[in-house]
Copies of this chain bind each other. A is one copy, B any other.
Amino acid sequence: MAAPLPAAPGGSRGRRPRRPSGDDRERAILTTAEDLLGRRPLADISVDDLARGAGISRPTFYFYFPSKDAVVLALLDRVVGEARESRSAALRRAGDDVRASWRGALEAVRSTFAAHRALTSAAASLLATSAEVRALWAAIMDGFVEETAAAIEAERARGAAPAGPPARDLAVALNWMNERVIHVTYAGQTPALAEDDLIDVLLTVWLRTVYGSDIPGTAPA
């Protein structure tokens, strides 16, 4: 995971504070951020809050992170890796039960998001303002799309799925659908799905899109 993590001055990441727990500070900032995000939206958290929470002064905060956003980015980086890995694993753990394999991929992403609702909301709000967050998000979505497209193509190749639009295009649509539906559902917005129905509904759309025909019955006279 080589994302633009916060490095203080020089390029390489070598800072190893010996005595007074300098690296602890970084961790303290991170956990403070996670904690505060659970209580109020990112916009209502100032650098000062983060600093005080970590037991340091505001200027000192800037020794560790270039900005508030960078903290969220660092947090996000971890979670994104988690999601990616757990999803790939689920997809690889396919076996012969195709349906279970798709379900596993959906479930992997869902559970990761669910475990980090607060962070996810913060990320969503940065999506609009931070190019770095946008890049990170694009990267993970790209990975999902790539993987999904490959799976669709494999299914088409073995004759299980019908032809249609480019696999990648379907994958783009399906993965963004997931992103949004999962997000609104866990962020408590509307219109959303019930948390318990989430996976079933998404899975239905995925399966019908990948395997289903798109020829509607003609209208009755």
**A165-B197, A165-B201, A193-B172 as given contacts; A213 in contact with B216, CB under 8 Å:** no
Name the prevailing secondary structure of the A interface residues: helix
Q: Mark A16-43, 1 if CB is under 8 A from B, else 0.
A: 0000000000000000000000000111
Q: Are B173 and A181 in contact (CB under 8 A)?
A: yes
Q: Are A219 and B169 in contact (CB under 8 A)?
A: no
CB-CB under 8 A from A177, the residues of chain B are 173-174, 176-177, 180-181, 205
| Interface residue stretch chosen among A7-15, A78-86, A123-131 | A123-131
Residue from the list B205, B215, B217 in contact with A173, Cβ < 8 A: B205
**A window 136-170: CB within 8 A of B:** 138, 141-142, 145, 155, 158-161, 164-165, 169-170
A65 interface residue per 8 A CB criterion: no
CB-CB under 8 A from A145, the residues of chain B are 191
A contact residues, total (Cβ < 8 Å): 63
CB-CB under 8 A from A98, the residues of chain B are 216-219
Q: Are B128 and A43 in contact (CB under 8 A)?
A: yes
Q: Give the distance in Å from the alpha carbon of A190 to the alpha carbon of B220 in the complex.
A: 42
**A window 192-210: CB within 8 A of B:** 192-193, 197, 200-205, 207-210
Residue from the set A129, A145, A169, A211 with the largest chain B CB neighbour count within 10 Å: A169
Q: Are B216 and A214 in contact (CB under 8 A)?
A: no
A179 interface residue per 8 A CB criterion: yes
A3 interface residue per 8 A CB criterion: no
A212 interface residue per 8 A CB criterion: yes
A99 interface residue per 8 A CB criterion: yes
Residue from the list B125, B138, B174 in contact with A189, Cβ < 8 A: B138
Q: Are B160 and A191 in contact (CB under 8 A)?
A: no
What residue in chain B is nearest A130 (Cβ atoms)? B43
Q: Are A216 and B210 in contact (CB under 8 A)?
A: yes
